[in-house]
Chains A and B, each alone.
Chain A
Amino acid sequence: MARTRKGIEVSIAMADAVAQANVDVIAAYPITPQTHIVEHLSEIVANGELDAEYVPVESEHSAMSVCCGSSAVGARTFTSTSSQGLALMAEIFYIAASMRLPMVMALANRSLSGPLSIWNDHTDTMMVRDAGWIHVFVENGQECYDNVFCGYRISEDPSVMLPLAVNLDGFILTHMIEPVIYEDNETIRKYLPDVRMKNALHPDNPVSMGCFAMPEIYTEAQMGREQGLLDAYPVIVKAWKEWGDLTGRYYRPIETYRTEDAEYCIVTMGSYGETAMEVVDALREEGEKVGVVKIRLWRPFPFEDFRSAVEGKKSLIVVDRAISFGGPGGPVALELRSALYGRPNAPAIVNYVAGLAGRDVARSDFRKIILEGKAKASKGETEGFTLYGLRG
């Protein structure tokens, strides 16, 4: 395939990227809004355009289990899910990370039941925040496409060997038609060669995987996971840098927009970053000194990048897409508050939870959130969170 620019549905572009990544096994169970990704992949396999096994499993629990098996034998593995599917596979989702099994998942973010809702927010991914996976958030179709390759490059790196989830907002991204630049296969091969994993299950080199641990060794095993995620950080940065050098599209753990001279910033994760940038442009016209801070890498959380991105700012308005019931705010705000806690001159944090289950957050809403948030910060009203747009 030559380098081309296409107007295409994001799910299709992502599936095409998986095919270009030359995966060996795809195991998935249908769930909205992830379906277009796996439908298109099964089509690609059925047409012989990708030589892979498409395993149409009977549940998401088995989808993740199949992925663990195929990754354990060293096969390049892909899966995709959303919401309840993620909840069902959560048990094995944790085990995949603990067993250091590389794979890439397209996690089409959707709200969790109940009440049943198929629409987008981040409640599903927050449920598995602490599973030990690498979590990347993307904003648009191009980022989805690119991060499939970066994802495998990172996940399969011998010093990482961890599963990686590309979080893309359900419907807002999955069902959007956008311009996406497809790289040629030669570039992809160069960036992402086929690798043979060390210690894959094979009779020539028998190993035991998934042994159980007594208390004498469990703690050390957990520290191994923690260290693994920390060690992944430089690999992630390098993989994104090299992708940028090849394609001109650079990714960073924390990305900023018009923050240099900003006095306060709106912080987003996922597709809201695009809207936030537009609103910030408009507010800048009016003389507001506002910028956008976007969290791309959620786990391992890039504390240093974040702290330097917000250094000297007066306040941060954090827009969360999930609630921690009975807790002090949305998960992102909690993270950022603890990242800054006790630091001298740390910016004040005002937290909004918005856009739950696909409730539209338009530019006018962002404008309102930013201005209201700024006012709250100046009045010192930084406790808890505000559920934006709550009716009556």
Chain B
Amino acid sequence: MDKFSVFSSRLVEKSENFTSGHRACQGCAEALAVRHVMKALGRDTVVAMSTGCMEIISSPLPLTSWRVPWIHNAFENSAAVISGCESGMKAMMRKGKIPAKKINFVAMGGDGATADIGMGALSGALERGHDMVYICYDNEAYMNTGIQRSSSTPYGASTTTSPAGKVSIGQHTQKKNMAQIAVAHNIPYVATACSSFPFDLMEKVKRAAETPGAAYVHVLSVCPTGWRIPTQDAIKYGRLAVDSCVFPLYEVIEGEYRLSYKPYKKLPLTEYLKGQGRFRHLTDKEIQMIQQRVDKDYERILRLSEEEK
């Protein structure tokens, strides 16, 4: 029965725990994701955030957008910081120093903080199994510093440090699959989500928070600035990423795969790539090559998921 959920926008938490007035770019789907994530988590939450877009737009001294206890420490260590918050609270509650209470411990970082510089800290925290949720907001490059490539930048994307040129396709490595790396830690809950599918996102964040132990949620967060798309199209491109199966939505619960959303009609990759400035230089042949890879990866998830059983 838990496979089926009824979504109604009226049932969504009304209070804003990540408030308006922050300094995100117009059309930022990452800020939107944070807003929905915070609605799902509620007030009894401690957030540790990595340095990055979401941190600088939400916390210029003496202002803050956060209505929950929030800590930013450094770029690569939000998973370790939240480990400390969780351990400290756990010990103090056990010892009666503070009253016992269910609190969500949530670390958040961008794809650079997660897949690159903070990989060690994240792996350590997942392995130790703290009762925490790690949320990666993946906008597929170092957007905060000006669109430099990360290991999460997809093949073929032009960024400021992987520019397409006469002898380069742009990013010439495959996107690091962080969700699969999280799965390899044998943690009880891993999910992929996208802010274009807010109910699915909120549902997954809730499930991650309710799961005892470490959970990982990978959120594709469209960045109009970095992807070079019109600001009003952020939601559309999130949908296209999912509908073209470039970014399948799925959960891995105790090692069991479950596809969250199967597109009614799988869109061709070109639907997703065309219109994005970062892929403008790709030739039909190159797109065909990328399409094959997308198909292969999607088929693997399909195979693993219960839908195919």
Contact of B146 with A by CB under 8 A: no
Complex Cα–Cα for A52 and B81 (A): 17
Contact of B127 with A by CB under 8 A: yes
| Interface contact B121-A202, CB-CB below 8 Å | no
Minimum CB–CB distance from B15 to chain A (whole Å) comes to 12
| Interface contact B92-A73, CB-CB below 8 Å | yes
Complex Cα–Cα for A209 and B77 (A): 15
| Interface contact B120-A194, CB-CB below 8 Å | no
What string of 1s and 0s marks CB contacts (under 8 Å) between B104-131 and chain A? 0000000000000000110111011000
| Interface contact B74-A70, CB-CB below 8 Å | no
Residues of B within 8 A of A202 (CB): 46, 69, 98
Q: Which of A52, A99, A203 has the most CB of B within 10 A?
A: A203
| Interface contact B69-A211, CB-CB below 8 Å | no
Contact of A62 with B by CB under 8 A: yes
Question: If A62-B77, A69-B71, A203-B69 touch, does A196 touch B97 (CB 8 Å cutoff)?
Answer: yes
| Interface contact B87-A75, CB-CB below 8 Å | yes
Contact of B236 with A by CB under 8 A: no
| Interface contact B61-A213, CB-CB below 8 Å | yes
Complex Cα–Cα for A219 and B72 (A): 19
Contact of A362 with B by CB under 8 A: no
Closest to A24 in B: B91
How many chain A residues sit at the interface, stated as a range, is: 35 or more
| Interface contact A67-B77, CB-CB below 8 Å | no
| Interface contact A74-B44, CB-CB below 8 Å | no
Closest to A63 in B: B80
Q: Which one of B52-60, B188-196, B241-249 is at the A interface?
A: B52-60
Q: Which of B60, B98, B124 has the most CB of A within 10 A?
A: B124
In-complex Cβ contact of B87 among A66, A99, A206, A212 (8 A): A66
Question: If A59-B121, A202-B98 touch, does A212 touch B59 (CB 8 Å cutoff)?
Answer: yes
Question: If A203-B69, A217-B61 touch, does A59 touch B87 (CB 8 Å cutoff)?
Answer: no
| Interface contact B61-A58, CB-CB below 8 Å | no
- B residues whose Cβ falls under 8 Å from a Cβ of A: 43-46, 48, 55-56, 59-64, 66-74, 76-77, 79-92, 94-95, 97-98, 101, 103, 120-121, 123-125, 127-128
- A residues whose Cβ falls under 8 Å from a Cβ of B: 24-25, 27, 51-53, 55-59, 61-62, 65-75, 77, 91-92, 95, 99, 194, 196, 201-203, 205-214, 217, 221
A-B contact pairs, 22 of them (CB 8 A): A24-B88, A24-B97, A52-B91, A58-B121, A59-B124, A65-B84, A66-B80, A66-B81, A69-B73, A69-B81, A69-B85, A70-B87, A70-B88, A70-B91, A196-B98, A201-B70, A203-B43, A203-B103, A209-B69, A211-B72, A214-B60, A214-B61
Given A53-B88, A58-B127, 17 more A-B residue pairs with CB atoms under 8 Å apart are A25-B91, A65-B84, A69-B81, A71-B88, A72-B71, A75-B84, A77-B88, A99-B73, A196-B97, A201-B46, A201-B71, A202-B98, A203-B46, A203-B103, A206-B70, A212-B55, A217-B62
